[in-house]
Structure formats: structure tokens, C-alpha cells
Amino acid sequence: MSPSPVAAFVAALPKVELHLHLVGSASLDTVLALARRHPGGGVPTDRDELRRFYGFTDFPHFLTVYHRVNRLVTTGADVVTLLDGLAAELALRSVRYAEVQVTPVRNHMAGIGYADLAAALADGRALARERHGVELGWVFDADAALGPAGAEETVDFAVRHRPEGTVGIGLGGPEAGVRRADFAPAFRRAVAAGLHSLPHAGETVGPDEVWAAVTELGAERVGHGIGAAGDPRLLEHLAEHGIALEVCPVSNLRTGAVRDVAEHPLPALVAAGVPVTLATDDPGMFHTDLDAEYLLCHEAFGMGVAELAAIARTGARAAYCPTQLRDSLLAEIDRVEAAHAR
């Protein structure tokens, strides 16, 4: 069966992906290989069992599973393997540029030295460009579960090692019971060192923490941010200041952050004029890819070629990529849209 016209358009559309986590991007095959190398690690070594292992009951359960898989990644060579697989998958979906969330303190806890991690990121980035034609940038995210001290250690890594392609500082992990504001000193230091502020906020909690991300952490984009939908004044602020949200619909459904696709706030965010980009978050764990996210917007929200092209443009504009790459992406989006417009 030939793909629908919109599916063909999405496949051809050149895209950026601004929110995906290194460990969560690992394919089933890669995770199985790692699990078989570390059979005591609590991650299934059988494919069907691994699929079931990726059935998340709620967001905290997802984080527990994520940490188990993270502990299988123990060497710089493992990191390069993950980046090679990730770049191959991105190229398959016409993704030309991606910003990858790397959690250095968690990698360090799994046994990778900081200098080895920086070297592996440099090698993986070169390989992504040369073998797959994909440009990568790095967002070094602190895990909120490790508190402000973990965030300071994350900034230390980013500032001391600053691998090529370093874009910003992030904040992931749990949101409930955590205050974004507690991480303000670490973010201030990162921003003073020239890093962009790109925290998660409003994935599983409401608008107050998105406000905190913006006002206390100086967020220039927000990971998820869907909790903003409850606050018209916040939506106005995001729209007015061009603060883009990195929205990951399949992730929200798989973690239970949103119960039903019909309840997903993405259409309301777009209608409010908030810059919305689409991303996969943890594509290996959520069984998704960027084309699937675009197609979900078509199928569930009725978005057509023009609306999907607009989302791709928002991504290109919100990306901290080289200007030349952004300009060529925007020109190519125009061409692909014109070829598929009816």
C-alpha cells in the first residue's frame, strides 16, 4: 500500500528534533545487547520481555525503568554506539539536526569518567555527521532527583569539558515535590558561561512550575511545558516572548502524563500562538519516531500539510544550530511544502 499523501509529505519534510534523551533513544536491539552484557542489571534480555518492561504504569515508574537502562551504559564506547544508532534513526526520518539531552552525572554514576564521556560525545558527533549526515547538539540535563548539588556537578561538566556542539543546560527527572526555583543558582552559572537555559517543566505538573522555569531559570525553551495550558496569562507570555515548548505527545501518553490523546493540549497551545515544536523524548522506550509524532498531529488533531510545515519551521527557528543550516532547512521546508500542497 502506498503511504497517504500526508505520510509522504511528513517523510520528505526536513525536520529538527529538539528534545530527546540519549539513553531513551536506544533501540530495542541496542538495549538487548547491553542487557545481555550485564545480565544482573535488572533489564530483560528477551525481546518480548523488554517490550513489556517498557509498559509504564505512570511517570515515576518510567523514571525507574529509565535509570535501570541508564546503568547498562558503562563505557564511552557504549555512548558512541548509542549515538550511531540514534543518528541512523534520525536520518531515516529526515531529521537534519537534533539536540540530545545527556545526563552526565547519571552516566558518571554508571561508571563513565567525565573526560571519557566528553571524548565519546565528540566521536559520536563526528560519526553522526560523517556517516549519517545528521548534526547533533548537546543539552546537559541535571536530574532533579539529585538535587541542586547534582545540577552544580552538571554545570561543572558542561563548563569544564564543553564538548563541541554544547548548546545548553537542562533539568529532567521528577517534577512532583521538586521546585524548579531550587536550581536557579546552577542555571545562573550556566547562563553566565554562555549556555542556553532549556529545562523540562510542566510535563506532569501545572503552570506554576512553567512560570518558575521561565522566571527563575530563564528558560529560553521549555521541555514539554504542556502544563502551561491551564494559564492563559502564561500562554500569552510564552507567545509574546517566543519561548517554544518541546511537545512530545506519544511520551505524554505512554507515561500517563496525559490520559487520552483527545485531552492533549497541543492544539490549544498552537491556537494560543505559543511556538510548538514536536519531539519524541525517549523514542526507544516509547516506541515512537518523529514522523509518528507528526502523523499523530494529523490523525488526532486534524493538522494538514500547512500546519505541519509550520511546526517544522518553528523547530528550525527554535534550534540552536548554525545559521546556515537553519536557513537551508527553512528553504527546503518551503520547497517540500509547495511540492505537497494541494
Site residues for ligand HPA per CB under 6 A: 21, 24, 66, 172-173, 200, 203, 251, 281-282
Q: How many Å apart are CA 222 and CA 233, to the nearest integer?
A: 16
Nearer to ligand HPA, 25 or 314 (CB): 25
Active-site pick, 89, 203, 209, 293: 203
Q: How many Å apart are CA 250 and CA 264, to the nearest integer?
A: 10
| Residue among 264, 282, 276, 281 at smallest CA distance from 315 | 276
Q: Which residues does 21 contact at the CB level (< 8 Å), separation at least 6?
A: 66, 100, 101, 102, 103, 141, 172, 281, 282
Supply 190's cell numbers.
Answer: 550556566
Least CB distance from residue 200 to ligand HPA, whole Å?
5
Residue 135 contact among Zn ion, ligand HPA, none, beta carbon within 5 to 8 Å by kind: none
List interacting residues with Zn ion (CB under 5 A). 281
Q: How many Å apart are CA 150 and CA 173, to the nearest integer?
A: 12
Residue 104 contact among ligand HPA, Zn ion, none, beta carbon within 5 to 8 Å by kind: none
Nearer to Zn ion, 278 or 309 (CB): 278
Exposed (0-12), middle (13-18) or buried (19+): which is 101, by Cβ within 10 Å?
A: buried
Residue 320 contact among Zn ion, ligand HPA, none, beta carbon within 5 to 8 Å by kind: none
Nearer to Zn ion, 252 or 314 (CB): 252
Q: How many Å apart are CA 330 and CA 275, to the nearest integer?
A: 16
The answer to whether residues 249 and 270 touch, using CB atoms and an 8 Å cutoff, is no
Least CB distance from residue 101 to Zn ion, whole Å?
6
Least CB distance from residue 175 to ligand HPA, whole Å?
8
* Strand 200-201 to 221-224 pairing: parallel
Least CB distance from residue 281 to ligand HPA, whole Å?
5
Least CB distance from residue 259 to ligand HPA, whole Å?
17
Residue nearest ligand HPA by beta-carbon distance: 172
- Partnered with residue 276 across adjacent β-strands are 245
Nearer to ligand HPA, 13 or 222 (CB): 222
Nearer to ligand HPA, 17 or 281 (CB): 281
Residue 173 contact among ligand HPA, Zn ion, none, beta carbon within 5 to 8 Å by kind: ligand HPA
Residue 315 contact among Zn ion, ligand HPA, none, beta carbon within 5 to 8 Å by kind: none
Exposed (0-12), middle (13-18) or buried (19+): which is 55, by Cβ within 10 Å?
A: exposed
Indicate if 203 belongs to the active site: yes
- Catalytic annotation, residues: 203
